[in-house]
Amino acid sequence: MALTVLIIGGSGRIGRSVAADLLRYTDVTVTLTGRRSQAAFKLQSRQRYQQLLVSDLVGVGDAIANHDLVIHCAGPFRTRDFNILAQCIEQKTPYIDVADSPDYVSEALAFKDVAKAAGVTCIVSTGVFPGISNSMVRQGIEQLETADQVHLSYLVAGSGGAGVTVMRTTFTELQTPFEATVNGERTVIQPYSGREILPFPSPYNSGAGVYWFNTVEALTLAQSFPQLSSVITKFGSLPDAYNRLTGLMTLLPPSWLRQPATVEFLSQVSYAMTQVTDRFSGTGIAIRLAITGHHQGQAITYLATATHPDTAAAAGYGTGSVAQLLLAGQLALPGVWPVEQVLPTSLFEKTLAERGLVINGKIHPSSHHADC
């Protein structure tokens, strides 16, 4: 019998992108869940739809029991509890998510020993950023003798092809300062500060800025590679006007931005704006990675870039490839893991090559450090 995969939150843009990847690269049957009684989109072959609320503990448990793998795509994750993860561990069902909240991931990783004792493999943050980006860092570090600093930046055009949930995540993460590892110390950072204009590949080299942002990568990369003295993660939007507007939101009184109604209003307005500008800006993503360190006794910078014209589709590649490997028994490692700790670079490169996503990486002499 074919294996079955449950995608909780599968009616959203990210969930459907994951499903599309699985249908193309595996022979699984996929169940997509959503809040509506019927799917608002046309189901493909080997797809089915189930109405399911994440707050329905019994319904979630029953759905997990009927599937071989669970993929959690029902964000925003900062507001989610750990019922789905806990039930997967209890039922010994492998678990994957696309979590983009450092708070959520930090607590999810605390289930590691429980999952290990149960013999269940659980992998968090498997999309594109975090996800593919984390594996790009591992890929780069493994090419160097020593690595000291990581600077990971993203530019996303318009909505990125994702839904309003991504907007909610953005405004939610603007609410409070966060900590990052800088020069060997944990430093408090103001969200959407430290604007930089970096050289991104065409067509993303428009001069748009990137800013400090509270990311899962800043949390897990510092844990996965403790030799790093700095892990810098920055995010920006295209067109650049969106960066300016987002930055203005940080000037609002913190009490306003913490109101769910305010977050929802800003998210809906932003999403409506991107539905207009997406036609001009596109919905793609550019990832830029710079790692400083030493190789063959010389100070160097490893530079790597990757682009894709549809951010949501790229997220589907990241999660779908991890699911493909897990279903094939190639990622059987009980516990709860960030993707860069559990996914070997050889398998990362193999699955991305199958999907036609190219990572351009090269080692440069120390004179290129100014580009970081």
* 220-245 pLDDT tens trace: 999 999 999 999 999 999 889 888 88
pLDDT at residue 313 greater than cutoff 50: yes
Contact 133, 152 (CB under 8 A): yes
* SS3 state at 312: helix
Angle in degrees, 0-180, between the axes of helices 216-224 and 132-141, rounded to the nearest 10: 30
Higher pLDDT residue, 273 or 23? 23
pLDDT at residue 371 greater than cutoff 80: no
Closest by alpha carbon to 342, among 75, 96, 82, 147? 96
pLDDT at 220: 97
Contact 256, 235 (CB under 8 A): no
Q: Could you tell me the domains of the chain? A: 4-128+312-353 (3.40.50.720), 132-310+356-371 (3.30.360.10)
Q: What is the mean pLDDT of the chain?
A: 92
Contact 145, 294 (CB under 8 A): yes
Note the pTM of the prediction, 2 decimals: 0.92
Contact 35, 53 (CB under 8 A): yes
Q: HSE (CB half, 13 Å, CA atoms) of 333?
A: 16
pLDDT at residue 368 greater than cutoff 80: no
With bands split at pLDDT 50, 70 and 90, how would you rate the model's confidence at 370? very low
Render 14-55 in DSSP notation, one character per residue.
HHHHHHHHHHHH---EEEEEESSSS-SS---TTEEEEE--TT
pLDDT at residue 357 greater than cutoff 90: yes
The answer to whether the peptide bond before residue 260 is cis (omega within 30 degrees of 0) is no
How far does Cα 319 stand from its chain's mean position? 9
* 154-163 pLDDT tens trace: 999 987 777 6
pLDDT at 257: 75
* 46-89 pLDDT tens trace: 999 999 999 999 999 999 999 999 999 998 898 899 999 999 99
Mean of the pLDDT values across residues 104-120?
98
> Using the 8-state DSSP alphabet, how is residue 201 labeled?
P
Cα 344 from Cα 266, distance rounded (Å): 39
Residue with tokens 């430290």: 194
